[in-house]
Structure formats: structure tokens, C-alpha cells
Amino acid sequence: MWQRDASPPVQRVQLIPTRTEHRRHHRKYAEGELPADRSFWFRGPDNKLNLRAQNLIVFLQMADGIDDDTWLHHLKRGDYSRWFAEGIKDEALTEQGREVEAMLHADAAQTRAAIRAAIERIYTLPV
């Protein structure tokens, strides 16, 4: 490090790595628009739907409005954790999603609430 008015003017310093996790594009995933190939698509068990959630806020809004069969169809297939891993690229959220998907005796309302809580805990979504 060089300081003009210091004595000595040049000093060796050691940088210490940060202790906080780097949260790249954090706001983009919550509020921005992911491209179609990285968005979540609610299709349902018979492919009757074609609803695109281009970010986490829209995902939660749609999750609240879709029918239980569609929600559980995607849950049982592991689609939510797969999207968190591949589309959102968030390891912590992916792990939380897998834990919810493994809740074998939970109903749609319970698993929706658990996914919502995980997203809100990690992303602290705006009101």
C-alpha cells in the first residue's frame, strides 16, 4: 500500500477474505426478469398450464394462485429445487427446496408456506 504522507510511504498489507457470502445478482432473481429458459414454468400434471414465473416474486404470486394438484405435481418431481439450482443458482435455496420436497406427509398449503418462508428468509423480499 502506498500512502503519500505516511512514514514509510510504502507498506506491505495482507487482505483478509470476506466472511459474508457473495450474493451475485440477488435483487435480479427476486424482482428482475430472467430469460424464458431460466424462468419457472407452471405446467401441471397434464400440461394444461403454461404460466411463466420470471423471478421469485412472480413465482410466489403464482404459487399462491395455482391449484393444489399443479403445486404438488411440481413438488413431487423436484422441479422447485431444480429451478433454484439451475435458474436461480442459489445453493442455500436449493437445499431448502429439497428439504420441503422431502416432506412426504405435508400437504400443498404446508409446502407452499415452507417454500415461501425459505425464499423470504434468504431474499428478504420487499413488501
Please give the average per-residue pLDDT across 69-98, as a whole number.
97
Radius of gyration for the chain, computed over Cα atoms and rounded to the nearest angstrom: 20
> 84-125 pLDDT, tens per residue?
999 999 999 999 999 999 999 999 999 999 999 999 999 875
Assign 84 to helix, strand or coil.
helix
Number of domains, the chain: 1
Q: Is residue 68 part of a domain?
A: yes
C-alpha cell at 65: 394462485
Assign 51 to helix, strand or coil.
strand
The total of other beta-carbon atoms located within 10 Å of residue 73's CB is: 18
> Could you list the residue range(s) of the whole structural domain that residue 57 is in?
26-123
Looking at residue 36, its pLDDT comes to 96
What one-letter code names the amino acid at 97?
G
C-beta pairs of 101-110 under 8 Å, 24+ apart in sequence: 101/75, 101/76, 107/68, 108/68, 108/71, 108/72, 108/75
Q: Is residue 14 part of a domain?
A: no
Q: Is residue 87 part of a domain?
A: yes
> 21-60 pLDDT, tens per residue?
445 456 667 778 999 999 999 999 999 999 999 999 999 9
Find out whether 114 and 71 touch, Cβ atoms under 8 Å: no
Q: Is residue 91 part of a domain?
A: yes
Q: Is residue 34 part of a domain?
A: yes
Q: What is the pTM assigned to this prediction?
A: 0.77
Q: Is residue 18 part of a domain?
A: no
Q: Is residue 103 part of a domain?
A: yes
